[in-house]
Structure 1
Amino acid sequence: MEEKTVAIGDDIAPDTGKPMPKSQMIRFAAGFIIFNIMWMMAGSAGSSVLLPNRFNDLNIGMTPEAILASMNSIGIIFALISNVVFGALSDATHGKLGKRTPWIIPGGIIAGIGYYMTSVAVTLTGIVAWWSVLQIGLNMMIAPCVAILSDRIPQKIRGTLSAFYGVGQIVGQSLGAIIGAAFVTNPRPGFLVGVVIWVLTGIVTIIIIPKELPAVAKDGESFSVKQIVMQFRPPVKGARDFYLALVGRLLMIFGYNMIMGYQLYVCQKYIGLSTTDAAATVSTMATIVMVVSLIFALAGGPISDKLGKRKLPVFVASAIMSIGLVVPWLAPTRTSMLIFSAIMAVGYGIYMAVDQALNVDVLPNPDDAGKDLGILNLANTLGQVIAPIVTSSIVIATGSYALAFPSAIAAVMAGAVIILFIKKAK
């Protein structure tokens, strides 16, 4: 009995109680990569390039930065709520398709509808409303998909599989910037490509990953409104490390996206490039980020598993990203932006390799993995959305992007220090 307990926490798949075959590990890795490539590619093409460029010419009585900030500040409310809601609902789902599968496919379709309608909306109300619909669909996919790491992946290889999850986001974000830059002068086809990608994301993911086992209710467990409501309680008992991970991740993602989320505007208004040159620079930066971070993410996950450490890689990654942010802050040129992207890619690749594995390690209760990972992933969503709001506020108040850089450095390093106080992970 003692040997079985050790094995379940080590190299045994939680859902089957057996070692995971290599073929299944490959399918999970491919599924995680492709899922994150697809949604990040569609999302970043729009949010980083196509929508900001469209807002430049929208003429609705607001600055482009203010439109983007308004869209994100309302969208975040729906992202935050829907991430926790769909994580909790998937935890409580029972049926032949399993707990997570039934939510992933419809999420992509809803996100596609929201994305298309945002791209054609001509009022601030319409932009905000449809972007919020997109956030609902996106988090309907993300919350259950992330929970798969806890439900089905042996602890021994979570760092490796987390690396594949992170690699997908890195590649998707970079490809999205490249696609957005390619369509910056003719955005309509670019938006339509994004719609197709959103709709296919959930379908393709479910086809690739191994079929989920049916979810059966535990003995004595029955459906009730009270039970569903109780699912939404944030963890309290033994949750100290959980909340440290939440705050640390929030600050890192926030600092990173203060600049990366405003790449086009930084190149145009801080570096002083034309729209065409700025788009070309963003495309080159995206290529650098994709290649460099891919290498370091693929190496970082297995190394983290071998060392059995999560906190040290996160701290090192944050320090590297801070160094990267210093370069364009002190020397605002196109070359400095390219150097910045390369250094940031090293740190971001290492961070993304171990991020999800760290999150799973600090879960207070594996039975609530969907809901609790949904709460932890709020840090990702919240950081990405708050960053442009803060950056736009700095620009509006000072008329420059200069103060955004030291603010981003402070946030990234504060997040790294907080992670060091976690006790549950090494």
Structure 2
Amino acid sequence: MTERALRVGGRGFLPLYALAWAGAAIAYTPFLTILLPVRIEMIAGPASVHWLAVTTFIGAIAASIANILFGWASDRSGTRRPWVLAGLLLSGGLLMLVPHATTLPVLTTLIIGWQVALNMMLGPLAAWAGDVVPDRHKGLLGGLLAFAPACGALTGALVTIPGLADPSARLTWVAAITAACIAPIILLGAGRAPGQETQSPAQAAAPIPMLRAMATRMWFARLLIQISEAALFAYLYVWLRGIDAGFGDAGVARLLAIVLLLAAPAALAAGYAADARRRPTLPLQISAVVGAAGLMLMALADSGPAAATGFLIFGVSTNIFLALHSAQTLRVLPDARYRGRDLGLFNLTNTVPSLIMPSLTLGLVPVLGFPALFAVMALLALGAAWMLRGVSIGAADRQA
């Protein structure tokens, strides 16, 4: 693949893709974390917690199925662009219908439809990077993806500024910003038919069984990290308040913002170094081990500053891991003709933890407390690092 294939209209594909992926995060982060809970509370009142849990659970199942389905559909159609455009338009349109849903069943149905439409965009968009970006730029790609969560969080803070917009207008703002971020890649982004290789010659020649084994290890490594992250973020506020009653919601929000702002440039530097040294999984292993160290600090913390320090170490390292993992996964998919479908299967690592996490937490915290939970999570993070020892995608590149 030539460098020219990464350029359209004088712009590099990587910045276009990074902007589009940031738009994808903007599409769902403010809505799921702030705007949807507010809307459910307006309708459900005291029953809002129950309805939010039901809506989130059903929506996650719909999202998982849709991500696999539309990733596969874009594989079969031989193009990603129309699916991304259709998903963008449908999800934006459904988002703006939310203020008109006045009953909980109607709202839940609308959210399910929105999740399906959103993943009509997300599944093909994720695979698009695999079609175009060559292996030698996968680390840089992962580093750029790390900016997406921060963009989603900042957009949530922007649209909720008091006096800027009413609840209905906030959703319009989210849809408009999302469209502004994703439209450039639809209009200008390079495209290749699914199945055309972007790997190095040595990696493209790797036996299919070896790639499947590596993909399996990558899948489980991400799952282990995601379980740790899901369990922690669900109970971060409760844990911090238990150690230091001075932690309020504003303090926790600032801590989360610091994590995202530190993780993005760190992931970019780590991804660039991984490309330069042709050691694509090394930053993943290091960040998993550092994340485990942060969790052990949290298990031992007996003061607010110690707890915050441990969380910062864990949060930054796992954000680096997840961003770089998303890009490096593209190296080990066994069949380039079905990378959209296979990435949908990898997306299950984002939803399965929500099913595992409650049992893990309820089994440990009431009896042994949060330190025991963090110790188990540290073992999971070390398990992720161990899993990646068997992923030898760097060796093929060094031989190329």
TM-score range, shorter chain: 0.7 to 0.9
Give the counterpart of 2:225 among 248, 252, 269: 252
Q: What CA deviation, in whole Å up to 9, does each residue of 1:24-51 have, x standing for no partner?
A: 7953222232223233235333433455
**In 1, are the aligned partners of 2:98 and 2:110 still within 8 Å (CA)?**
yes
Q: 2:115 maps to what in 1?
A: 135
**In 2, are the aligned partners of 1:174 and 1:289 still within 8 Å (CA)?**
no
Q: 1:413 maps to what in 2?
A: 382
Write the distance in 2 (CA, Å) between the matches of 1:124 and 1:402: 38
* 1:168 counterpart = 2:141: no
* 1:207 counterpart = 2:184: yes
The amino acid that maps onto 1:281 is: G
Q: 2:216 maps to what in 1?
A: 243
Q: 1:80 maps to what in 2?
A: 64
Aligned-pair identity in percent equals 21
Q: 2:23 maps to what in 1?
A: 38
Give the counterpart of 1:295 among 251, 265, 273: 265
Write the distance in 1 (CA, Å) between the matches of 2:97 and 2:371: 34
Q: Which moved more, 1:408-417 or 1:369-378?
A: 408-417
Q: 2:86 maps to what in 1?
A: 106
Q: What CA deviation, in whole Å up to 9, does each residue of 1:232-279 have, x standing for no partner?
A: xxx9895222222112112212211222355555556775468xx31x
Q: 1:370 maps to what in 2?
A: 340
The amino acid that maps onto 2:13 is: F
**In 2, are the aligned partners of 1:107 and 1:139 still within 8 Å (CA)?**
yes
**In 1, are the aligned partners of 2:87 and 2:118 still within 8 Å (CA)?**
yes
Query: Residues 5-404 of structure 1 correspond to what in structure 2 (within 5 A)?
Result: 12-13=1-2, 19-20=4-5, 27-51=12-36, 64=49, 66-94=50-78, 99-115=79-95, 125-126=105-106, 128-165=108-145, 167-175=146-154, 178-179=157-158, 189=166, 192-198=169-175, 200-202=177-179, 204-208=181-185, 210-213=188-191, 239-263=212-236, 272=245, 277-278=248-249, 280-331=250-301, 334-336=304-306, 338-383=308-353, 385-386=354-355, 389-390=358-359, 393=362, 404=373
Q: What CA deviation, in whole Å up to 9, does each residue of 1:42-66 have, x standing for no partner?
A: 53334334555776787666583x5
Write the distance in 2 (CA, Å) between the matches of 1:142 and 1:200: 16
1:114 to partner: Cα distance: 4.8
Write the distance in 2 (CA, Å) between the matches of 1:74 and 1:260: 20
CA RMSD of aligned residues (A): 4.0
Higher helix share: 2
Write the distance in 2 (CA, Å) between the matches of 1:74 and 1:269: 31
The amino acid that maps onto 2:259 is: V
The amino acid that maps onto 1:201 is: T
Q: TM-score, normalised by structure 2?
A: 0.78
Q: What CA deviation, in whole Å up to 9, does each residue of 1:59-108 have, x standing for no partner?
A: 666583x54443332222211111111111111225xxxx1111112223
Write the distance in 1 (CA, Å) between the matches of 2:95 and 2:296: 34
Write the distance in 1 (CA, Å) between the matches of 2:278 and 2:291: 23
Q: For this pair of structures, how many residues does the alignment match?
A: 383
Q: What CA deviation, in whole Å up to 9, does each residue of 1:305-361 have, x standing for no partner?
A: 112112221111112222223444443765345424431343135324521332111
1:177 to partner: Cα distance: 6.1
1:155 to partner: Cα distance: 1.9
